[in-house]
Amino acid sequence: MSVAENLERVRSRIADAAKNSGRPEDDVTLVAVSKTWPVEPIRDVFDAGQRVFGENKVQEILEKVDPLPDEIDWHLIGHLQKNKTRKVLPHCACIHSVDSPGLAEQIGRIAGELGLVPRILIQVNVASDDAKFGFPVGVVRERFADILAIENLEVAGLMTVPSYDADPEKVRPFFAKLRELRDGLASEHGVALSELSMGMSHDFEVAIEEGATLVRVGSAIFGERNYA
């Protein structure tokens, strides 16, 4: 199938999952994960109507910004090294992967120098997986007020990347835990925290059922990646 047909299938699945959880389809934003893919298939997906794309690496965003349409909203979904903050901020609609107070402070400081107010998500390691980036749940609760106080940031919500499991039901508890953490922080601090970034190609429907507003889908649209 073409990437346009794949995109339509994914959109249909998102709509069904949203309906099944009693939510409108437009409550969920699809982030088409284009990491490792060249410009041509990304343009095909854009031409099919997709506008939000996610990349894991700053360098890939920088390489793709100029040859692709300005209407694309680029989201950084991978780990951000502090020394690349200045390069990516002018091109990034949202950073999903703010995983330390120091990084949040760095983004806020540089954003102020550039006259920007970037939209960020706090990455939470809800599964306490040593192989994953993200705040431990307890540290998020302890430091959240400090992060909210940083100038030149819009803290829009939370993000998580649970360990892969072929059975989506095995990761449902982690999605539910992120939603519960978000709800608690929003209530305690009096902020909206409208976004929950969770769910990928193999489990995004379960994530939507648990409250995801941003789903990061790559292989179900572009196909399997060749990392060779």
Classify residue 36: in a domain, yes or no: yes
> 216 in helix, strand or coil?
strand
Between CA 70 and CA 58 the distance in angstroms is 17
Q: How many domains does the chain have?
A: 1
Classify residue 113: in a domain, yes or no: yes
Classify residue 178: in a domain, yes or no: yes
Per-residue pLDDT of the chain (228 residues; tens, 9 = 90+): 799 999 999 999 999 999 999 999 999 999 999 999 999 999 999 999 999 999 999 999 999 999 999 999 999 999 999 999 999 999 999 999 999 999 999 999 999 999 999 999 999 999 888 878 899 999 999 999 999 999 999 999 999 999 889 999 999 999 999 999 999 999 999 999 999 999 999 999 999 999 999 999 999 999 987 654
Classify residue 164: in a domain, yes or no: yes
Classify residue 104: in a domain, yes or no: yes
Which residue in 105, 48, 107, 55 sits closest to 79, CA to CA?
55
- pLDDT 10s digits, 128-180: 888 788 999 999 999 999 999 999 999 999 999 998 899 999 999 999 999 99
Classify residue 210: in a domain, yes or no: yes
User: Can you give the CATH number for the domain in which 93 is found?
Assistant: 3.20.20.10
Domain that holds residue 52: 3-221
Which residue in 31, 76, 69 sits closest to 53, CA to CA?
31
Rounded to two decimals, the pTM is: 0.95
b/e burial code for range 51-80 (CB count within 10 A of at least 16 → b): ebbbbbbbebbeebbeebeeebebbbbbbb
Classify residue 144: in a domain, yes or no: yes
Q: Which tokens go with 117?
A: 């107010």
b/e burial code for range 170-199 (CB count within 10 A of at least 16 → b): ebbebbbbbbebbeebeeeeeeebebbbbb
Beta strands in 99-207 (DSSP E): 119-123, 154-159, 195-197
Classify residue 227: in a domain, yes or no: no
> 140 in helix, strand or coil?
helix
The one-letter code for the residue type at 179 is R
**Other beta carbons less than 10 A from residue 17's beta carbon:** 21
